[in-house]
Amino acid sequence: MLEFLVQRALISVLTLTLITLAVFTGVRLIPGDPARVLAGTDADEAGLEEIREKYGLKDPIPVQYLRWVGLLLRGDLGESIRTRESVARIVGLKLPITLQLAAYALLIALLIAIPTGVYSAVRRNSAWDYLASGLSLGGVSIPNFWLGIMLILLFSVRLGWLPASGYVPLSQDPRGNLERMLMPAFVLGAALAAVLMRQTRNSMIDVLGADYIRTAYGKGLSRRVVVFRHAIRNALVPVVTIFGLQLGALISGAVVTEQIFVVPGFGRLIVEAVFTRDYPLVQGVVLLTASAYVLINLLVDVAYSLLNPRIRVGGGAR
């Protein structure tokens, strides 16, 4: 177990190193003086000199890289060109909003996917199963931003039930918060629900065909007990890994969703940073999302190995 954890952690460190190398190279590929790139076009000579000093831009490239990584490790992601605020601070302000949106989306996805998937597997090839599979295929195929626009058209423009955009903190106005988050969370959760549902159904079907399920029926247990006590717990183990795999889609989805519903979160920040050519901000955001992806996948692997001891034996190779 320890060996497996150490091995996975080492691979993650290696991956993170490659990510920093990729981002560092990317920023250096931007044409022009790197100091100008990091300080912005309207920085004066003193400002440029300060940047050169901080990042050691007169040193050889490998030294510059190491110095930059050193700053990253101390949490210094640089300053936004536009607002002069530290990138870490800006992200710290925006991230909770997106995490909240993601949490709602996840909740909606789970509430839809797990019961539907389990029921479809139990009543395999019934009308209900076909309907659920059809909806799942639709959920994967529908472009989330169009779904969002159609929801706004229906619930905000036509019916006037929900506000089309904006954000209110939960602590300030819980009702307003939920009203504004419902549509974006549903849009973000719909694709995830479709994927989760399919995975739940398939893994539930596998489990229901297993010997120990036949044994459970054989000793006279009712279907309800077999499904809830024996099958679901084992069927949900593979579903856990889907989270790690879907994380990238969730991040991409948040960017789009926040853009449609004007939610002032991390996703909107990314797009704004590109349009204002705020290179330090883009760099910080790209670094943070990639690192988060690696760390969360590490956690998923660990969680999976705790849930499923078989995977540990082969050192994670199978």
Partner 1 sequence: MTAARAEAPAAAAALPAAGLVPAGRRRGRAWRRLVRRPPALAGTVVVLFFVGLAVGAPWIAPADPDRPDWSQIRKPPSTAHPFGTDDLGRDTFSRVVWGSRISMRAGVLSILLAMAVGVPAGLASGFYRGTLDQVVMRLTDAWLAFPFLVLAIGLVTLLGPSLTNATLAIGLGATPTFLRLTRGLVLATREEDYVQGARAIGAGDLRVMRRHILPNIVSSLLVQATVSIPAAIIGEAVLSFLGLGVQPPAPSWGTMLNTAQQFLEAAPWMAWWPGLAIFLLTLSFNLAGDGLRDVLDPRDY
Q: Are 259 and 271 in contact (CB under 8 A)?
A: yes
Q: Which two tokens stand for residue 193?
A: 């629900």
Does residue 248 touch partner 1 according to CB under 8 A?
yes
Sign of CA pseudo-dihedral 303, 304, 309, 312: negative
Taking phi over 0 as left and psi of -120 to 50 as alpha, with beta for the rest, 75 belongs to left
Of the candidate residues 91, 188, 227, 247, the single one contacting partner 1 (CB under 8 A): 247
Q: Which residue, 131 or 274, is less far from partner 1 as judged by CB? A: 274
Residue 271-290 contact track with partner 1, rule CB under 8 A, x = bound = x--xx-x-x--x--xx--xx
Q: Which residue, 153 or 313, is less far from partner 1 as judged by CB? A: 153
Q: Could you tell me which stretch among 43-51, 111-119, 143-151, 172-180 binds partner 1 (CB under 8 A)?
A: 143-151
* CA gap 195, 206 in Å, rounded: 17
Q: Which residue, 155 or 217, is less far from partner 1 as judged by CB? A: 155
CB burial string 162-181: b at 16+ within 10 A, e below: bbbeebbeeeeeeeebeebb
* CA gap 208, 235 in Å, rounded: 9
Least distance in angstroms from the C-beta of 9 to partner 1: 13
Chain residues in the site for partner 1 (CB under 8 A): 11, 14-15, 18-19, 22-23, 26, 29-30, 137-138, 140-143, 145-146, 149-150, 152-153, 157, 164, 247-249, 251-252, 255-256, 259-260, 270-271, 274-275, 277, 279, 282, 285-286, 289-291, 293-294, 297
